[in-house]
Amino acid sequence: MKSSPSANQLLEWHKKNKDKEACITTAEGIPVVGATSSITVGKHGPIVLYDWNLLEKLGHFARERIPERVAHAKGSAAFGYFEVTNDITKYTTSKVFEKIGKKTPVALRFSRVVGSLGAADTDLDPRGFAIKFYTDEGIWDIVGNNTPIFFIRDPALFPSFIRSQRPNPATNLRDWNQYWDFISLRHECAHQTLILFSDRGLPKSYRHMHGFGSHTFSFVDENKKLTYCKFHIKTNQGIKNLSPSKAKQIAGEDPNYYGRDLYDAIEKKDFPSWTFYVQLMKPEEAKFKNFDPFDITKVWPHKENPLIKVGKIVLNKNPSNYFAEVEQLAFSPSNITQGIWISPDRFLQGRLFAYPDAHRHRLGVNYTQLPVNSPFKASNYLRDGIATIENQGGAPNYYPNSFGGPVECPTNYPAPLQVSGEVGHYDTGKTEDNYTQARIFYNKVLDGPARSRLEDNLVSTIKYVTSEKVKMNLLQMFTLVDTDLGNNLKDKLRALNTTHEDGLRN
């Protein structure tokens, strides 16, 4: 710890500032006395109302926390750049990919999904991997995870899915019945569940894991032609993982282990980096795939759509004000700049609404005026509301107008998406293939020892399920993925021969 930059932050600050002693002031800059006592009538008397310094201190304190993110509350972030290393300008007009060597500043926030702000970094959970590109044309966000896929494919299920993973609302405790119940009833979860409980579910640090856009997006070329694409951001530090027992030990000793690792690496100038790849698919090809290429529970096999190297991401700067630059950092898949576009992925479409809505609740309607969210001078007709800073220099606040206010920008017209079909509810839970890719992962990607570790990891929490019905449904799901997997899980659960009261809880 002694050599850890994060442990010495205050010492460093003092070194730099020791000759600059400053007076305490109120927030309005008025020098104050009485930093350690309130104003009272005599030594034992009551406090007077004109002690506005005390009122400011207490009033500010009561308001210095905001709602945490409803998902991905616990996280850490850093800043750096994306640099183009290979040319893909024939697929996209995005200025980010304009020419080899071009650098675009980025913010990257890592997180875990269900833990609250105080949760331990090293618990089993998917990790968020959200990148904000400060492009020449506004903000582009990739709000992905460290897994190439997700559990479910319809936004209608997302709130229930997240609730099933959070504490039981009656006991406020993690409830393995509800956790596994949801998964056992929605077999599209099988693929992501296997990936999560495999070795990569417990990365050694944020630096040692990949990131993925997960959804299918589109590139748009200069003729407005679409090419569907997926984003893969692969770690240059190498994949490294923790064993479940090591992860549990660290969770107890240092719940901020990943955050500390990231901060210290950057302060020591050991800048972490990732190589940025894309997979591409022509719309004609998408029509003939034997799986739905817009289904977020599926990958695009590398053999059919190989990875194409595009650039690299380097993180070289820590935030200096965590609250302003990370707690108030607001990502959204709807932040998409020209040359890049959405796709027919319905899960992605659900997210386009959810994030700006969450930010207006969490940070207020003017969250885009916070410098970390948009360092650009906006040019639009949004005005006023709580915490307004900008008035756009007195430009008109209505449109159309005759006074030279900003006008529409035809270059950013959405690319045409061709759709047809009957409006209705289409529950894809049982109509899609939920097992083939999960089976390939279990049988072909993992070797024997990795399969065994995956099964042990699954069993380590399934053993807490007290509902026989849930256990049965779950084992049925895993058997449909692969008979050996189902049988091995049954055997391992039987062998445990444990009651639910063995004292180990997660």
Residue 396, both tokens: 């008109």
CA 339/CA 158 separation, integer angstroms: 29
Q: Coil, helix or strand for 52?
A: helix
Q: Tell the smallest beta-carbon distance from residue 340 to ligand HEM (Å).
A: 16
Write the single-letter amino acid at 103.
Answer: K
Query: Considering the rule CB under 6 A, would residue 114 count as an interface residue with ligand HEM?
Result: no
DSSP E strands, 236-304: 273-281
Establish whether 488 is a catalytic residue.
no
For 78, the 3-state DSSP assignment is: strand
Which residue, judged by CB position, is nearest to ligand HEM in the bound state? 128
Given ligand NDP, ligand HEM, none, residue 108, with its beta carbon under 5 to 8 Å by kind, binds none
C-alpha R_g of the chain: 26
109 binds ligand HEM (CB under 6 A): yes
Separation of first and last alpha carbons in the chain: 27
Number of residues counted as binding ligand HEM (CB under 6 A): 28
Q: 32, 119, 352, 354: which one contacts ligand HEM (CB under 6 A)?
A: 354
* Residue of 8, 17, 145, 457 with catalytic role: 145
* Nearest CB to ligand NDP, comparing residues 190 and 372: 190
**Residue 355, marked binder:** yes
Which residue is it, tokens 């817009």? 294
Under the criterion CB under 6 A, does residue 366 sit at the interface with ligand HEM?
no
Please identify, using beta-carbon distances, which residue of 12 and 357 lies nearer to ligand HEM.
357
Q: Does 186 bind ligand HEM (CB under 6 A)?
A: no
Min dist. Cβ of residue 197 to ligand HEM (A): 18
Give the length of the chain. Answer: 506
Calpha distance 299→460 (Å, rounded): 27
In angstroms, give the least distance from the CB of 161 to ligand HEM.
Answer: 9
In the complex, minimum distance from the CB of residue 439 to ligand NDP, in angstroms, rounded to a whole number: 8
Q: 94, 214, 279, 328: which one contacts ligand HEM (CB under 6 A)?
A: 214
Among 271, 291, 322, 355, binds ligand HEM (CB under 6 A): 355
Residue 351 binds ligand HEM, judged by CB under 6 A: yes
Q: Are 201 and 195 in contact (CB under 8 A)?
A: yes
Determine the Cα–Cα distance for residues 125 and 166; give it in Å rounded to an integer: 11
417 binds ligand HEM (CB under 6 A): no
Is the Cβ–Cβ distance between 196 and 252 less than 8 Å? no
Buried b (16+ CB within 10 A) or exposed e, 208-222: bbbbbbbbbbbbbbe
Query: Of 17, 53, 72, 86, which residue is the catalytic one?
Result: 72
User: If you search the block for the tokens 């024939």, which residue do you land on?
Assistant: 90
Contacts with ligand NDP, residue ranges (CB under 6 A): 148, 195, 198-200, 239, 299-303, 437, 440-441, 445
Catalytic residue status for 72: yes
Is 144 near ligand HEM (CB under 6 A)?
Answer: yes
User: Is residue 398 packed enough to be buried (19+ CB in 10 Å), middle (13-18) or exposed (0-12)?
Assistant: exposed
- Residue 278 Cβ vs ligand NDP, minimum distance, rounded to whole Å: 11
Q: Is 478 in the site for ligand HEM (CB under 6 A)?
A: no
* Residue owning tokens 């492009």: 135
Residue closest to 203 by CA, chosen among 151, 266, 272 = 272
Q: Which of residues 50-89 bind ligand HEM (CB under 6 A)?
A: 69-72, 75
Q: Is 362 in the site for ligand HEM (CB under 6 A)?
A: yes
Cα–Cα distance list, 278 to 66, 147, 337 (Å): 37, 15, 17
Q: Among ligand HEM, ligand NDP, none, what does residue 440 contact (CB within 5–8 Å per kind)?
A: ligand NDP
Other residues' Cβ atoms within 10 Å of the Cβ of residue 307: 16
Reference 179, options 460, 499, 451, 455; nearest CA is: 460
Structure token digits, residue 295: 């289904």
Name which of ligand HEM, ligand NDP, none residue 312 binds, using a CB cut-off of 5 to 8 Å depending on partner kind. Answer: none
CB-nearer residue toward ligand NDP: 197 or 258: 197
Q: Which residues have a catalytic role annotated?
A: 72, 145
Question: Which spans of this chain sit near ligand HEM (rule: CB under 6 A)?
Answer: 69-72, 75, 109, 111, 128, 130, 143-145, 150, 155, 158, 214, 296, 329-331, 347, 350-351, 354-355, 358-359, 362
| Binding-site entries for heme | 355
| Binding-site entries | 355
